[in-house]
Amino acid sequence: MSTTAPAFAHRFEPAADPARPPLLLLHGTGGDENDLLGLGRLVAPGAALLSPRGQVLENGMPRFFRRLAEGVFDEEDLRARTDDLAAFIRDAQARHGIAAPVALGFSNGANIAAALLLRHPGLLRGAALLRAMVPFRDPPAARLDGTRVLLLSGASDPIVPAENSARLAAILQAAGATVKHHDLPLGHGLSQMDVALARDWLAALPENAP
Q: Enumerate the active-site residues.
A: 107, 157, 188
User: Which strand (E) or helix (H) includes residue 155?
Assistant: none
What is the rounded distance in angstroms from the CA atom of residue 88 to the CA atom of residue 6?
Answer: 6
Bridge partners, 103 (sequence order): 24, 127
Per the CB < 8 A criterion, the answer to whether 175 and 118 are in contact is: yes
Strands 56-58 vs 61-63: parallel, antiparallel or unpaired: antiparallel
Longest CA–CA span in the chain (Å) reads: 46
Quick check: 56 and 67 in contact, CB under 8 A? no
Rounded CA-CA distance 203/98 in Å is 18
- Residue 76 identity: E
Please give the Cα distance from 169 to 179 (Å, whole number): 7
